[in-house]
Protein backbone atom coordinates (compact mmCIF):
# COMPACT_ATOMS: atom_id res chain seq x y z
CA UNK A 1 0.00 0.00 0.00
CA UNK A 2 2.88 2.32 0.86
CA UNK A 3 4.39 1.74 -2.57
CA UNK A 4 1.03 2.43 -4.24
CA UNK A 5 0.67 5.67 -2.32
CA UNK A 6 4.22 6.73 -3.11
CA UNK A 7 3.76 6.05 -6.83
CA UNK A 8 0.39 7.85 -6.80
CA UNK A 9 2.13 10.85 -5.26
CA UNK A 10 4.83 10.74 -7.91
CA UNK A 11 2.17 10.47 -10.58
CA UNK A 12 0.41 13.59 -9.35
CA UNK A 13 3.64 15.53 -9.19
CA UNK A 14 5.51 14.35 -12.27
CA UNK A 15 3.13 12.98 -14.88
CA UNK A 16 2.66 16.26 -16.76
CA UNK A 17 6.35 17.11 -17.01
CA UNK A 18 7.25 13.54 -18.04
CA UNK A 19 4.53 13.48 -20.68
CA UNK A 20 5.89 16.73 -22.14
CA UNK A 21 9.42 15.33 -22.03
CA UNK A 22 8.37 12.15 -23.82
CA UNK A 23 6.55 14.14 -26.52
CA UNK A 24 9.66 16.17 -27.19
CA UNK A 25 11.96 13.13 -27.24
CA UNK A 26 9.86 10.86 -29.43
CA UNK A 27 9.68 10.97 -33.19
CA UNK A 28 6.02 10.07 -32.82
CA UNK A 29 4.56 12.12 -29.94
CA UNK A 30 1.43 9.96 -30.09
CA UNK A 31 3.34 7.29 -28.19
CA UNK A 32 4.27 9.57 -25.32
CA UNK A 33 1.42 8.55 -23.04
CA UNK A 34 2.30 4.86 -23.47
CA UNK A 35 5.93 5.55 -22.66
CA UNK A 36 5.11 7.52 -19.52
CA UNK A 37 2.57 4.95 -18.39
CA UNK A 38 5.11 2.15 -18.88
CA UNK A 39 7.69 4.11 -16.88
CA UNK A 40 5.33 4.47 -13.92
CA UNK A 41 4.38 0.78 -14.11
CA UNK A 42 8.03 -0.30 -14.12
CA UNK A 43 8.91 1.91 -11.21
CA UNK A 44 5.93 0.59 -9.25
CA UNK A 45 6.82 -3.06 -10.00
CA UNK A 46 10.46 -2.46 -9.08
CA UNK A 47 9.66 -0.27 -6.07
CA UNK A 48 11.18 -2.72 -3.60
CA UNK A 49 14.50 -2.33 -5.37
CA UNK A 50 14.59 1.45 -5.16
CA UNK A 51 16.64 1.86 -2.04
CA UNK A 52 16.21 5.62 -1.79
CA UNK A 53 12.59 6.70 -2.46
CA UNK A 54 13.81 10.28 -2.70
CA UNK A 55 15.48 9.29 -5.95
CA UNK A 56 12.38 7.69 -7.44
CA UNK A 57 11.76 10.83 -9.48
CA UNK A 58 15.22 10.53 -11.02
CA UNK A 59 14.55 6.85 -11.80
CA UNK A 60 11.31 7.84 -13.51
CA UNK A 61 13.04 10.44 -15.68
CA UNK A 62 15.75 7.92 -16.58
CA UNK A 63 13.13 5.33 -17.49
CA UNK A 64 11.24 7.75 -19.70
CA UNK A 65 14.47 8.75 -21.47
CA UNK A 66 15.45 5.09 -21.97
CA UNK A 67 12.02 4.04 -23.19
CA UNK A 68 11.87 7.01 -25.56
CA UNK A 69 15.32 6.12 -26.94
CA UNK A 70 14.23 2.51 -27.46
CA UNK A 71 11.05 3.66 -29.18
CA UNK A 72 12.99 5.93 -31.54
CA UNK A 73 15.37 3.06 -32.42
CA UNK A 74 12.50 0.64 -32.86
CA UNK A 75 10.80 2.98 -35.28
CA UNK A 76 14.04 3.51 -37.17
CA UNK A 77 14.36 -0.27 -37.42
CA UNK A 78 10.78 -0.60 -38.65
CA UNK A 79 11.27 2.10 -41.27
CA UNK A 80 14.36 0.39 -42.64
CA UNK A 81 13.09 -3.10 -42.48
CA UNK A 82 9.53 -4.14 -42.65
CA UNK A 83 6.81 -2.06 -44.29
CA UNK A 84 3.97 -4.12 -42.85
CA UNK A 85 5.33 -3.62 -39.35
CA UNK A 86 5.41 0.11 -39.84
CA UNK A 87 1.81 -0.03 -40.98
CA UNK A 88 0.84 -2.24 -38.05
CA UNK A 89 2.26 0.34 -35.70
CA UNK A 90 -0.13 2.98 -37.12
CA UNK A 91 -2.46 5.16 -35.15
CA UNK A 92 0.01 7.99 -35.50
CA UNK A 93 -1.10 11.22 -33.92
CA UNK A 94 -0.15 14.36 -35.83
CA UNK A 95 2.89 16.01 -34.32
CA UNK A 96 2.23 19.17 -32.35
CA UNK A 97 4.03 21.31 -34.92
CA UNK A 98 1.55 20.27 -37.58
CA UNK A 99 -1.36 21.86 -35.81
CA UNK A 100 -2.49 25.23 -37.04
CA UNK A 101 -2.15 27.02 -33.73
CA UNK A 102 1.65 26.88 -33.74
CA UNK A 103 3.62 29.85 -34.90
CA UNK A 104 6.25 29.44 -37.61
CA UNK A 105 8.98 29.94 -35.07
CA UNK A 106 7.78 26.94 -33.07
CA UNK A 107 7.47 24.78 -36.15
CA UNK A 108 11.09 25.56 -36.96
CA UNK A 109 12.17 24.68 -33.41
CA UNK A 110 10.32 21.37 -33.66
CA UNK A 111 11.93 20.57 -37.00
CA UNK A 112 15.39 21.56 -35.75
CA UNK A 113 14.92 19.44 -32.64
CA UNK A 114 14.06 16.39 -34.74
CA UNK A 115 17.29 16.76 -36.68
CA UNK A 116 19.44 16.57 -33.56
CA UNK A 117 21.16 13.27 -32.68
CA UNK A 118 19.34 11.45 -29.87
CA UNK A 119 21.70 12.31 -27.04
CA UNK A 120 21.81 15.99 -27.97
CA UNK A 121 18.05 16.15 -28.18
CA UNK A 122 17.80 14.56 -24.73
CA UNK A 123 20.20 17.09 -23.24
CA UNK A 124 18.29 20.03 -24.74
CA UNK A 125 14.90 18.76 -23.56
CA UNK A 126 16.09 17.95 -20.06
CA UNK A 127 17.94 21.26 -19.76
CA UNK A 128 15.43 23.66 -21.30
CA UNK A 129 12.12 21.89 -20.78
CA UNK A 130 12.63 20.23 -17.40
CA UNK A 131 15.17 22.83 -16.24
CA UNK A 132 17.49 20.16 -14.86
CA UNK A 133 21.07 20.93 -13.86
CA UNK A 134 24.00 19.35 -15.69
CA UNK A 135 24.52 16.95 -12.79
CA UNK A 136 20.86 15.91 -12.85
CA UNK A 137 20.94 15.40 -16.62
CA UNK A 138 24.10 13.33 -16.27
CA UNK A 139 22.43 11.13 -13.64
CA UNK A 140 19.33 10.73 -15.79
CA UNK A 141 21.22 9.74 -18.93
CA UNK A 142 23.95 7.76 -17.20
CA UNK A 143 26.77 9.90 -18.62
CA UNK A 144 29.29 12.31 -17.12
CA UNK A 145 28.52 16.01 -16.53
CA UNK A 146 31.30 16.82 -19.01
CA UNK A 147 29.56 14.78 -21.65
CA UNK A 148 26.29 16.61 -20.93
CA UNK A 149 28.07 19.94 -21.38
CA UNK A 150 29.53 18.80 -24.70
CA UNK A 151 26.23 17.46 -26.04
CA UNK A 152 24.34 20.59 -24.94
CA UNK A 153 26.93 22.87 -26.50
CA UNK A 154 26.85 20.99 -29.80
CA UNK A 155 23.06 20.87 -29.77
CA UNK A 156 22.78 24.61 -29.21
CA UNK A 157 25.25 25.22 -32.01
CA UNK A 158 23.26 22.98 -34.36
CA UNK A 159 20.00 24.63 -33.36
CA UNK A 160 21.65 28.02 -33.81
CA UNK A 161 22.60 27.18 -37.37
CA UNK A 162 19.08 26.05 -38.16
CA UNK A 163 17.28 28.80 -36.29
CA UNK A 164 19.79 31.61 -36.87
CA UNK A 165 20.69 33.74 -33.93
CA UNK A 166 20.46 31.32 -31.04
CA UNK A 167 23.45 31.87 -28.76
CA UNK B 1 15.95 33.02 -30.54
CA UNK B 2 17.20 33.30 -26.96
CA UNK B 3 17.47 30.49 -24.43
CA UNK B 4 14.27 31.76 -22.81
CA UNK B 5 12.66 31.65 -26.23
CA UNK B 6 13.78 28.04 -26.58
CA UNK B 7 12.27 27.23 -23.20
CA UNK B 8 8.99 28.82 -24.21
CA UNK B 9 8.96 27.02 -27.57
CA UNK B 10 9.58 23.63 -25.93
CA UNK B 11 6.78 24.29 -23.47
CA UNK B 12 4.39 24.99 -26.33
CA UNK B 13 5.60 22.01 -28.38
CA UNK B 14 5.07 19.70 -25.40
CA UNK B 15 1.36 20.55 -25.68
CA UNK B 16 -1.37 19.90 -23.14
CA UNK B 17 0.03 17.50 -20.55
CA UNK B 18 -3.01 17.16 -18.32
CA UNK B 19 -3.42 13.48 -17.45
CA UNK B 20 -6.63 11.75 -18.48
CA UNK B 21 -8.91 10.94 -15.52
CA UNK B 22 -8.20 7.21 -15.80
CA UNK B 23 -4.42 7.45 -16.30
CA UNK B 24 -3.45 6.94 -12.65
CA UNK B 25 -5.79 4.01 -12.14
CA UNK B 26 -4.53 2.36 -15.34
CA UNK B 27 -0.97 2.51 -14.03
CA UNK B 28 -2.04 1.00 -10.70
CA UNK B 29 -4.01 -1.73 -12.45
CA UNK B 30 -1.22 -2.77 -14.85
CA UNK B 31 1.40 -2.71 -12.08
CA UNK B 32 -0.84 -4.77 -9.83
CA UNK B 33 -1.31 -7.42 -12.56
CA UNK B 34 2.44 -7.68 -13.12
CA UNK B 35 3.18 -8.00 -9.40
CA UNK B 36 0.47 -10.67 -9.04
CA UNK B 37 1.88 -12.66 -11.96
CA UNK B 38 5.32 -12.63 -10.42
CA UNK B 39 3.99 -13.78 -7.03
CA UNK B 40 1.97 -16.57 -8.64
CA UNK B 41 5.06 -17.95 -10.33
CA UNK B 42 7.01 -17.80 -7.09
CA UNK B 43 4.28 -19.58 -5.09
CA UNK B 44 3.85 -22.42 -7.54
CA UNK B 45 7.57 -22.97 -7.75
CA UNK B 46 7.80 -23.14 -3.97
CA UNK B 47 5.27 -25.98 -4.12
CA UNK B 48 7.56 -27.93 -6.43
CA UNK B 49 10.49 -27.37 -4.10
CA UNK B 50 8.47 -28.72 -1.16
CA UNK B 51 7.81 -31.87 -3.17
CA UNK B 52 11.52 -32.20 -3.64
CA UNK B 53 12.16 -31.77 0.07
CA UNK B 54 9.80 -34.60 1.02
CA UNK B 55 11.53 -37.01 -1.32
CA UNK B 56 9.29 -37.03 -4.38
CA UNK B 57 12.09 -35.39 -6.27
CA UNK B 58 15.33 -37.14 -7.23
CA UNK B 59 16.82 -40.50 -6.42
CA UNK B 60 18.38 -39.28 -3.18
CA UNK B 61 21.93 -40.23 -4.05
CA UNK B 62 24.55 -37.67 -3.24
CA UNK B 63 26.33 -36.06 -6.15
CA UNK B 64 30.02 -36.64 -6.57
CA UNK B 65 30.59 -32.96 -7.34
CA UNK B 66 32.14 -31.07 -4.44
CA UNK B 67 30.35 -28.07 -3.00
CA UNK B 68 31.19 -25.40 -0.45
CA UNK B 69 29.39 -25.09 2.91
CA UNK B 70 26.22 -23.04 3.37
CA UNK B 71 26.86 -19.33 3.62
CA UNK B 72 24.91 -16.33 4.88
CA UNK B 73 21.54 -15.40 3.48
CA UNK B 74 21.58 -13.91 -0.01
CA UNK B 75 21.85 -10.11 0.39
CA UNK B 76 20.00 -9.10 -2.78
CA UNK B 77 18.73 -10.29 -6.15
CA UNK B 78 21.05 -12.82 -7.72
CA UNK B 79 21.54 -14.73 -10.93
CA UNK B 80 22.96 -18.23 -11.13
CA UNK B 81 25.97 -18.32 -13.41
CA UNK B 82 28.08 -21.11 -14.88
CA UNK B 83 31.75 -20.27 -15.26
CA UNK B 84 34.00 -21.43 -18.04
CA UNK B 85 35.70 -23.68 -15.48
CA UNK B 86 32.39 -25.43 -14.70
CA UNK B 87 31.64 -23.74 -11.35
CA UNK B 88 28.07 -22.80 -10.44
CA UNK B 89 27.84 -19.48 -8.64
CA UNK B 90 25.16 -17.20 -7.28
CA UNK B 91 26.14 -13.70 -8.35
CA UNK B 92 24.73 -10.51 -6.80
CA UNK B 93 23.27 -8.45 -9.66
CA UNK B 94 23.94 -5.15 -7.89
CA UNK B 95 27.72 -5.55 -7.68
CA UNK B 96 28.82 -8.77 -9.45
CA UNK B 97 30.15 -10.35 -6.27
CA UNK B 98 29.88 -14.10 -5.83
CA UNK B 99 27.36 -14.63 -3.05
CA UNK B 100 27.93 -18.38 -2.96
CA UNK B 101 29.70 -21.04 -4.98
CA UNK B 102 27.34 -23.99 -5.15
CA UNK B 103 29.53 -26.27 -7.25
CA UNK B 104 33.26 -25.76 -7.66
CA UNK B 105 33.84 -27.39 -11.03
CA UNK B 106 32.83 -30.02 -13.55
CA UNK B 107 29.45 -28.69 -14.71
CA UNK B 108 29.04 -28.55 -18.48
CA UNK B 109 25.40 -29.39 -19.18
CA UNK B 110 23.57 -26.16 -18.41
CA UNK B 111 22.31 -24.39 -15.32
CA UNK B 112 18.92 -22.98 -14.33
CA UNK B 113 16.91 -22.12 -11.28
CA UNK B 114 13.38 -22.67 -10.00
CA UNK B 115 11.15 -19.60 -10.51
CA UNK B 116 11.21 -18.79 -6.78
CA UNK B 117 15.01 -18.90 -6.83
CA UNK B 118 15.39 -21.46 -4.04
CA UNK B 119 16.61 -24.44 -6.06
CA UNK B 120 19.37 -24.58 -8.65
CA UNK B 121 19.38 -27.24 -11.37
CA UNK B 122 22.46 -28.12 -13.34
CA UNK B 123 23.51 -30.84 -15.73
CA UNK B 124 26.44 -32.88 -16.93
CA UNK B 125 26.62 -33.25 -20.68
CA UNK B 126 27.72 -36.89 -20.69
CA UNK B 127 29.81 -38.43 -23.45
CA UNK B 128 28.91 -40.16 -26.69
CA UNK B 129 25.45 -41.69 -26.39
CA UNK B 130 25.74 -41.90 -22.60
CA UNK B 131 23.79 -39.41 -20.54
CA UNK B 132 25.10 -37.25 -17.77
CA UNK B 133 22.98 -36.40 -14.75
CA UNK B 134 20.79 -33.49 -13.82
CA UNK B 135 21.35 -32.41 -10.23
CA UNK B 136 19.49 -30.14 -7.83
CA UNK B 137 21.02 -28.12 -5.02
CA UNK B 138 19.39 -25.59 -2.67
CA UNK B 139 20.45 -22.05 -3.55
CA UNK B 140 21.27 -21.37 0.10
CA UNK B 141 23.81 -24.22 0.05
CA UNK B 142 22.10 -25.88 3.02
CA UNK B 143 22.51 -29.40 1.64
CA UNK B 144 24.72 -31.08 -0.96
CA UNK B 145 23.55 -31.61 -4.54
CA UNK B 146 21.39 -34.61 -5.35
CA UNK B 147 21.09 -36.47 -8.60
CA UNK B 148 17.65 -35.95 -10.05
CA UNK B 149 17.41 -37.75 -13.37
CA UNK B 150 19.61 -38.81 -16.28
CA UNK B 151 19.83 -36.07 -18.87
CA UNK B 152 21.24 -32.66 -19.61
CA UNK B 153 20.20 -29.01 -20.09
CA UNK B 154 17.43 -28.78 -17.48
CA UNK B 155 14.74 -26.10 -17.68
CA UNK B 156 11.97 -25.59 -15.11
CA UNK B 157 8.48 -24.52 -16.18
CA UNK B 158 7.24 -21.07 -15.07
CA UNK B 159 4.87 -22.66 -12.53
CA UNK B 160 7.68 -24.86 -11.20
CA UNK B 161 5.82 -28.13 -11.67
CA UNK B 162 7.55 -29.54 -14.79
CA UNK B 163 11.11 -30.10 -15.85
CA UNK B 164 12.24 -30.19 -19.48
CA UNK B 165 15.58 -31.71 -20.45
CA UNK B 166 17.39 -33.75 -23.10
CA UNK B 167 18.36 -37.41 -22.98
CA UNK B 168 20.30 -39.57 -25.42
CA UNK B 169 20.22 -43.23 -26.19
CA UNK B 170 21.88 -45.50 -28.77
CA UNK B 171 19.91 -45.77 -31.97
CA UNK B 172 20.30 -47.75 -35.20
CA UNK B 173 22.98 -45.56 -36.70
CA UNK B 174 23.92 -43.16 -33.94
CA UNK B 175 22.53 -41.47 -30.88
CA UNK B 176 18.82 -40.72 -30.67
CA UNK B 177 18.09 -37.46 -28.93
CA UNK B 178 14.91 -37.05 -26.91
CA UNK B 179 13.37 -33.99 -25.39
CA UNK B 180 11.60 -34.98 -22.17
CA UNK B 181 9.03 -33.03 -20.17
CA UNK B 182 8.63 -34.61 -16.77
CA UNK B 183 6.33 -33.91 -13.83
CA UNK B 184 8.56 -34.82 -10.88
CA UNK B 185 5.64 -35.05 -8.47
CA UNK B 186 3.99 -37.87 -10.43
CA UNK B 187 6.74 -39.18 -12.66
CA UNK B 188 4.57 -38.53 -15.75
CA UNK B 189 6.56 -37.83 -18.91
CA UNK B 190 6.11 -36.56 -22.44
CA UNK B 191 8.87 -37.40 -24.87
CA UNK B 192 9.82 -36.24 -28.37
CA UNK B 193 12.60 -38.15 -30.08
CA UNK B 194 14.80 -37.03 -32.93
CA UNK B 195 16.33 -40.23 -34.35
CA UNK B 196 20.02 -39.94 -34.94
CA UNK B 197 19.67 -36.38 -33.76
CA UNK B 198 22.84 -36.07 -31.77
CA UNK B 199 26.13 -35.62 -33.49
CA UNK B 200 29.00 -36.79 -31.39
CA UNK B 201 30.71 -33.83 -29.79
CA UNK B 202 28.10 -31.34 -30.97
CA UNK B 203 26.37 -28.96 -28.62
CA UNK B 204 23.03 -29.78 -27.07
CA UNK B 205 20.71 -26.83 -27.21
CA UNK B 206 19.20 -24.79 -24.41
CA UNK B 207 15.50 -25.12 -23.67
CA UNK B 208 13.31 -22.25 -22.51
CA UNK B 209 9.65 -22.32 -21.48
CA UNK B 210 7.07 -19.90 -22.83
CA UNK B 211 5.55 -17.77 -20.04
CA UNK B 212 2.26 -19.67 -20.29
CA UNK B 213 4.04 -23.02 -20.00
CA UNK B 214 2.53 -24.34 -23.24
CA UNK B 215 5.52 -24.15 -25.55
CA UNK B 216 9.26 -24.75 -25.47
CA UNK B 217 11.86 -22.73 -27.29
CA UNK B 218 14.88 -24.69 -28.41
CA UNK B 219 17.87 -22.43 -28.89
CA UNK B 220 20.03 -22.16 -31.96
CA UNK B 221 17.49 -23.93 -34.19
CA UNK B 222 14.81 -21.35 -33.41
CA UNK B 223 12.49 -24.26 -32.83
CA UNK B 224 9.23 -23.88 -30.94
CA UNK B 225 7.55 -27.04 -29.65
CA UNK B 226 3.85 -26.84 -28.83
CA UNK B 227 3.34 -29.17 -25.86
CA UNK B 228 -0.38 -29.37 -26.52
CA UNK B 229 0.20 -30.81 -29.98
CA UNK B 230 2.58 -33.77 -29.81
CA UNK B 231 4.44 -34.38 -33.05
CA UNK B 232 7.87 -35.13 -34.42
CA UNK B 233 10.73 -33.02 -33.19
CA UNK B 234 12.02 -31.78 -36.50
CA UNK B 235 12.29 -28.69 -38.62
CA UNK B 236 8.57 -28.65 -39.35
CA UNK B 237 7.96 -26.72 -36.17
CA UNK B 238 10.69 -24.13 -36.57
CA UNK B 239 9.66 -20.48 -36.75
CA UNK B 240 9.79 -19.20 -40.33
CA UNK B 241 11.70 -16.10 -39.30
CA UNK B 242 12.30 -13.84 -42.24
CA UNK B 243 13.59 -10.33 -42.15
CA UNK B 244 12.99 -7.80 -44.91
CA UNK B 245 15.99 -5.74 -45.89
CA UNK B 246 15.99 -2.10 -46.94
CA UNK B 247 16.02 -2.94 -50.65
CA UNK B 248 12.91 -5.08 -50.38
CA UNK B 249 14.62 -8.48 -50.32
CA UNK B 250 13.86 -10.91 -47.57
CA UNK B 251 16.51 -12.92 -45.83
CA UNK B 252 16.08 -15.92 -43.63
CA UNK B 253 18.07 -15.27 -40.53
CA UNK B 254 20.84 -17.73 -39.84
CA UNK B 255 19.89 -19.84 -36.84
CA UNK B 256 23.47 -20.55 -35.80
CA UNK B 257 24.91 -19.26 -32.56
CA UNK B 258 22.19 -16.81 -31.75
CA UNK B 259 21.11 -16.07 -28.21
CA UNK B 260 17.44 -16.85 -27.64
CA UNK B 261 15.13 -16.63 -24.66
CA UNK B 262 11.45 -16.33 -24.04
CA UNK B 263 10.61 -12.98 -22.53
CA UNK B 264 7.54 -12.81 -20.28
CA UNK B 265 5.42 -9.90 -21.44
CA UNK B 266 2.15 -8.14 -20.88
CA UNK B 267 0.18 -11.11 -22.23
CA UNK B 268 0.68 -14.75 -21.33
CA UNK B 269 2.31 -15.50 -24.67
CA UNK B 270 5.38 -13.29 -24.31
CA UNK B 271 7.91 -12.70 -27.03
CA UNK B 272 11.12 -14.41 -28.07
CA UNK B 273 14.23 -12.30 -27.59
CA UNK B 274 17.01 -13.01 -30.07
CA UNK B 275 20.28 -11.46 -31.09
CA UNK B 276 20.50 -10.29 -34.70
CA UNK B 277 23.02 -8.56 -36.91
CA UNK B 278 21.01 -7.49 -39.89
CA UNK B 279 18.18 -5.35 -41.08
CA UNK B 280 20.02 -2.07 -41.48
CA UNK B 281 20.98 -1.91 -37.81
CA UNK B 282 24.45 -0.51 -37.07
CA UNK B 283 27.01 -3.27 -37.51
CA UNK B 284 29.32 -1.96 -34.80
CA UNK B 285 26.77 -3.00 -32.19
CA UNK B 286 24.89 -6.16 -31.40
CA UNK B 287 21.11 -5.93 -31.20
CA UNK B 288 18.57 -7.99 -29.28
CA UNK B 289 15.10 -7.84 -30.80
CA UNK B 290 11.73 -9.22 -29.75
CA UNK B 291 10.11 -11.65 -32.16
CA UNK B 292 6.47 -12.65 -32.40
CA UNK B 293 6.61 -16.45 -31.82
CA UNK B 294 3.70 -17.10 -34.17
CA UNK B 295 4.30 -14.71 -37.04
CA UNK B 296 8.10 -14.82 -36.92
CA UNK B 297 8.29 -11.05 -37.33
CA UNK B 298 10.36 -8.62 -35.33
CA UNK B 299 8.24 -6.56 -32.94
CA UNK B 300 10.76 -4.27 -31.31
CA UNK B 301 14.38 -3.59 -30.59
CA UNK B 302 14.94 -4.49 -26.94
CA UNK B 303 18.48 -3.21 -26.51
CA UNK B 304 21.81 -2.76 -28.23
CA UNK B 305 25.18 -3.73 -26.84
CA UNK B 306 28.82 -3.30 -27.72
CA UNK B 307 29.31 -7.08 -27.54
CA UNK B 308 27.36 -10.07 -28.78
CA UNK B 309 25.13 -11.95 -26.31
CA UNK B 310 25.42 -15.74 -26.59
CA UNK B 311 23.13 -16.69 -23.68
CA UNK B 312 20.14 -14.63 -22.53
CA UNK B 313 17.71 -15.04 -19.66
CA UNK B 314 14.90 -12.90 -18.22
CA UNK B 315 13.62 -12.60 -14.68
CA UNK B 316 10.02 -13.83 -14.18
CA UNK B 317 8.58 -10.35 -14.75
CA UNK B 318 10.43 -9.96 -18.06
CA UNK B 319 11.75 -6.55 -17.02
CA UNK B 320 15.34 -7.50 -16.21
CA UNK B 321 17.62 -9.44 -18.54
CA UNK B 322 20.96 -11.11 -17.88
CA UNK B 323 23.32 -12.29 -20.60
CA UNK B 324 26.77 -13.68 -21.23
CA UNK B 325 28.52 -12.21 -24.23
CA UNK B 326 30.95 -13.79 -26.68
CA UNK B 327 33.87 -12.66 -24.53
CA UNK B 328 32.53 -14.43 -21.45
CA UNK B 329 31.34 -11.25 -19.74
CA UNK B 330 28.24 -11.43 -17.57
CA UNK B 331 25.91 -8.45 -17.85
CA UNK B 332 22.55 -7.40 -16.47
CA UNK B 333 20.13 -4.79 -17.78
CA UNK B 334 17.49 -3.72 -15.30
CA UNK B 335 13.98 -2.38 -15.63
CA UNK B 336 15.30 1.18 -15.83
CA UNK B 337 17.49 0.34 -18.81
CA UNK B 338 20.77 0.44 -16.89
CA UNK B 339 23.38 -2.12 -17.88
CA UNK B 340 25.90 -3.45 -15.37
CA UNK B 341 28.88 -5.68 -16.03
CA UNK B 342 29.15 -8.41 -13.40
CA UNK B 343 32.54 -9.84 -14.32
CA UNK B 344 34.17 -12.12 -16.88
CA UNK B 345 34.94 -15.82 -17.32
CA UNK B 346 31.33 -17.01 -17.60
CA UNK B 347 29.65 -19.44 -19.95
CA UNK B 348 25.95 -19.29 -19.05
CA UNK B 349 23.50 -17.44 -16.84
CA UNK B 350 19.96 -17.96 -15.56
CA UNK B 351 17.79 -15.68 -13.49
- What tens digit of pLDDT does each residue of B44-83 get? 545 444 444 444 343 333 333 333 334 333 345 889 999 9
Q: Name the band, by pLDDT with cuts 50, 70 and 90, for residue B165.
A: very high
The backbone torsions φ and ψ at residue A32, rounded to the nearest 5 degrees and listed phi first, read -60, -40
ipTM, two decimals: 0.79
Cβ pair B10:A129 closer than 8 A: yes
Of B1, B243, B280, the CB nearest to A165: B1
Cβ pair A166:B18 closer than 8 A: no
Using the 8-state DSSP alphabet, how is residue B244 labeled?
E
Higher pLDDT, B220 or A52: A52
Higher pLDDT, B240 or A61: A61
Check residue A47 and give its pLDDT: 81
Is residue A63 over pLDDT 70?
A: yes
Cβ pair A62:B337 closer than 8 A: yes
Check residue B141 and give its pLDDT: 86
Check residue B242 and give its pLDDT: 55
Residues from chain A that touch B338, judged by Cβ atoms under 8 A, are 62, 142
The mean-pLDDT minimum among B41-50, B147-156, B308-317, B335-344 falls in: B41-50
Contacts of A165 (CB under 8 A, 6+ apart): B1
In this structure, the number of other CB atoms found within 10 A of the CB of residue B202 comes to 10
Average pLDDT, chain A: 78
pLDDT tens string B193-213: 776 665 444 557 788 888 888
Q: Name the band, by pLDDT with cuts 50, 70 and 90, for residue A87.
A: very low
Cβ pair A15:B26 closer than 8 A: no
Average pLDDT, chain B: 75
Percent of chain B clearing pLDDT 70 (strictly above) = 70
Higher pLDDT, B306 or B162: B162
B95-98, long-range: CB < 8 A, 24+ apart? B95/B342, B96/B330, B96/B340, B96/B341, B96/B342, B96/B343
The whole model's pTM is what?
0.56
Residues from chain A that touch B336, judged by Cβ atoms under 8 A, are 42-43, 46, 59, 62-63, 66
Residues from chain B that touch A113, judged by Cβ atoms under 8 A, are 10, 13
3-state secondary structure of A82: coil
Q: How far apart are CA B224 and CA B237, in angstroms?
A: 6
Q: Name the band, by pLDDT with cuts 50, 70 and 90, for residue B346.
A: very high
pLDDT tens string A4-16: 888 888 888 899 8
Task: Give the A:B interface size as CB pairs under 8 Å.
Answer: 160
Cβ pair A21:B243 closer than 8 A: no
Of A4, A37, A106, the CB nearest to B23: A37
Q: How far is B68 from chain A (nearest CA, A)?
A: 29
Q: How far apart are CA B243 and CA B300, in angstroms?
A: 13
Amino acid sequence: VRADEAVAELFAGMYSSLLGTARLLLDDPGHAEEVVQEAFVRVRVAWWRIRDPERAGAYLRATVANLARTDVRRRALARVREPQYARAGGGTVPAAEDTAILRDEHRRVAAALRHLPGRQRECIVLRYYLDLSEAEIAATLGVTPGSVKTHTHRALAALGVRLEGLA
Amino acid sequence: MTEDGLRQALGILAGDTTPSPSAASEVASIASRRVRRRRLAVGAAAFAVVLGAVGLFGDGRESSVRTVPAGPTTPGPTVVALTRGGAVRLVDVSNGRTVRTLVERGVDGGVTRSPDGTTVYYGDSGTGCANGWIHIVPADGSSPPKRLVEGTRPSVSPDGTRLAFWTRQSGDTGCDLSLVVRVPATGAEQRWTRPNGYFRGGPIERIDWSPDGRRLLISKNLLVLDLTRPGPLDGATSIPLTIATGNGKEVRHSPDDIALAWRPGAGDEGRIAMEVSCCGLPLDESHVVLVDPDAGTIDALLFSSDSRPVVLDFDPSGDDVAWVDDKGRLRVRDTLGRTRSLGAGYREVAW
